[in-house]
Each structure stands twice: as C-alpha cells, then as structure tokens.
Structure 1
Amino acid sequence: MESSNSGALSILFVCHGNICRSPAAEGALRSLIRKQGFDGRVKVDSAGTSAYHIGEIPHPDTRKAAAEAGIKLEHRARQFTAFDLERFDYILAMDRHNYEDVLAVTSSEEERSRVFMYRKFDPEVEDSRIPDVPDPYYGGFAGFREVQSIVQRTSESILEWLRSMEPAAQRN
C-alpha cells in the first residue's frame, strides 16, 4: 500500500467510466483537503472499471456541476487495475456493480476489508442497505448536480474518517 511508503493515506474512487461520478468525488475531496490544510497527507485518485473512456477528461456536465461548486476537475480517465489494490489504502466504489467488480480482483481478506461502498460515508444515508451514487450519464444536468451534492456532503465525512485512520504521530 502506498501509505506505508509515502506516509500519506491514499484513497481511490471507482465508477464505471471514470468520467462522471468518481472524478466528481475525487475533485470534491481534493478541494476539501486543500481548504482544510490537509495537503500532502492524503493521496486522492479515481478510476473506472471499464476501458470506454481512457484518457478522456470528465464529462462536460460533470465539469459544469463541479465548477458551480468552485471545483476545477483536471482528471483524465483511467481504468482500475489489480495493482490499485496495492497502491491505495482504501477504495470506494460509487455503486454496487463497481463494488463487486473491485472485489472480484481482490486476492485476500485484507484487500477486501479496504473496499467500501461510497455512500457508506454519506451522512444522509440511514438505511442499512447502502444506496448507489446514481449514474447521471444518460440523464439531464439535474442528475449531475445531484451527484455533485452527494459528493460534496460525503467528502466531509470521508475526510473525517481518513483523519481518524491517520497514525497519531502524523496528526500533530
């Protein structure tokens, strides 16, 4: 895992194409990390389980919704690989299908224990069945705004959780 090498925690967000939900989550958390002075202590990235959009910038409506929140997305889509399980401390999947795809390439219980559904950290989710982050790809702009709203509020919970996982020596 990367944290043992660099001292920083690392988190990867995973969706299907890596042009809508996961880059929105990456951008929201990066922005929050900068605002709260947590730079250099958390590595954030995103990837997709499919190869459809490798090298592409985020969907125009993803960029527009992020810009409305004051966030500039500079990510290029890439595909999730088994090597990501070694590179990242935690992997958060945006929906159940991608969660299952990530789990399918794990090779140990330790790796599986570091894979979560993204909305497990959503402060508005009270249901025991964790919902998906809806895929806005085939809908209108309102769906992209909804995703941006979800990732904005959830980023705060994720950062708080990451702070709690940080070794005590680094918190000072």
Structure 2
Amino acid sequence: MAAPGSKSVLFVCLGNICRSPIAEAVFRKMAADSGVVDQWRIDSAATSTYEIGNPPDHRGQACMKRHNVPMRHVARQVTKDDFMSFSHILCMDDSNLSDLNRKAKQVKNSTAKIELLGSYDPEKELIIKDPYYGGDEDFEKVYEQCLRCCKAFLEANP
C-alpha cells in the first residue's frame, strides 16, 4: 500500500520484460535525479503470465546501460491489489489498456487511474510498440518514448 500522501505508478506491458521495465527504470532515474524518488512507489508488471520470474530482455538492458539508466526488475503479473494500491497504472498499447480495464472491473475498490503512458507524449505518439520482435533500434525508440512520456507524467504529478 502506498503511504498516504505518497505517489505511486505501475508501468504495464504484455510480458514485463521490454517496455514496462524500461519505463520503470527511466521514471525511477528521473525521479531520483529530480530528488523526488522517496515520494514515489514505482514498479512494473505484465498483463500476461508469459515471462513471470524472468529478467528484462537483454536488448532492453543493453539500451539502458548505454544511457546510464540502472535497471533491476523481475517480471510479475498485475494483481488485484495493484488496482487499489497504485494511484496510476500506465500501459503501453490498446491491448494492455483493455486488459487492465477488464481486470479493474473485477476489483471492488479499484482506485487506480488507468491510462496509456503515450497519452503524456508531447509528440502525441500514443502507442509504445512492443520491440520484442525488433532490433536494437526498436528498443532505442521505446527508450526515447518513455523518456518523453515519463518527463511529462512527472511534471503533471509534482
């Protein structure tokens, strides 16, 4: 449970090994660099069970290393508690969004605001595409999108 007055965000994608751990790492570093990381509870999760227990994709880890962004995460699935304990659940695409909205309806006290992370993108790229079947340049694009969106999200939630 997030402490009263503290802020919380859960980043979500399909498997929790590519996009959401990148968004989590980017946001955590941004919050740390801004001196507000102690005010936030930050995590990421999957809508699916495919990758539970696995580390982030090695290409995503390499991308984060290139940008000096620390990344430590083990994939997990979204739980019912997440809908009550996180104030914001930010996901990557329409499929994640419909899965999350469906799951939220099954939680009586769901208080989380569920949105596309891309809805914060100043360049208006709503969807953060899964780079899993792509190459390094696709992970780089995810990183760039997460950077823009996380910055705007952090500014919108001072």
TM-score by length of 2: 0.93
Question: Counterpart amino acid of 1:122?
Answer: D
The whole-number CA distance in structure 2 between the counterparts of 1:113 and 1:8 is 14
Q: Secondary structure at the match of 1:92?
A: strand
* 1:16 Cα deviation after fit: 0.2
Query: Cα RMSD (Å) of the superposition?
Result: 1.8
* 1:11 Cα deviation after fit: 0.5
The answer to whether 1:157 aligns with 2:125 is: no
* 1:110 Cα deviation after fit: 8.0
State, as a whole percentage, how many aligned pairs show the same letter.
Answer: 34
The whole-number CA distance in structure 2 between the counterparts of 1:38 and 1:151 is 18
Which has more radius of gyration?
A: 1
Instruction: Please list the CA deviations of residues 42-93 of structure 1 after superposition, one character each: whole Å capped at 9, or x if unmatched.
Output: 1110000111111111000101111111112101100012221011011011
Report the equivalent of 2:120.
121
Q: Residue 132 and residue 112 in structure 1: after superposition, are their counterparts in 2 closer, same or farther (change >3 A)?
A: farther
Is the 2:89–2:112 Cα contact (8 Å) retained in structure 1? no
The answer to whether 1:38 aligns with 2:36 is: yes
* 1:106 Cα deviation after fit: 1.6
Is the 1:17–1:53 Cα contact (8 Å) retained in structure 2? yes
| 1:82 aligns with one of 80, 83, 103 | 80
Gaps of 5+ in 1: 164-172
Gaps of 5+ in 2: none
Is the 1:13–1:26 Cα contact (8 Å) retained in structure 2? yes
Hey, which bits of structure 1, 4+ residues long, moved more than 2 A? 107-113
Instruction: Please list the CA deviations of residues 71-128 of structure 1 after superposition, one character each: whole Å capped at 9, or x if unmatched.
Output: 1210110001222101101101111101100000123798477100110001111xxx
Is the 2:131–2:139 Cα contact (8 Å) retained in structure 1? yes
Question: How many residues are aligned here?
Answer: 157
Instruction: Please list the CA deviations of residues 8-54 of structure 1 after superposition, one character each: whole Å capped at 9, or x if unmatched.
Output: 10010100000000000000000001101002111110000111111
Q: Residue 110 and residue 120 in structure 1: after superposition, are their counterparts in 2 closer, same or farther (change >3 A)?
A: farther
Report the equivalent of 2:52.
54
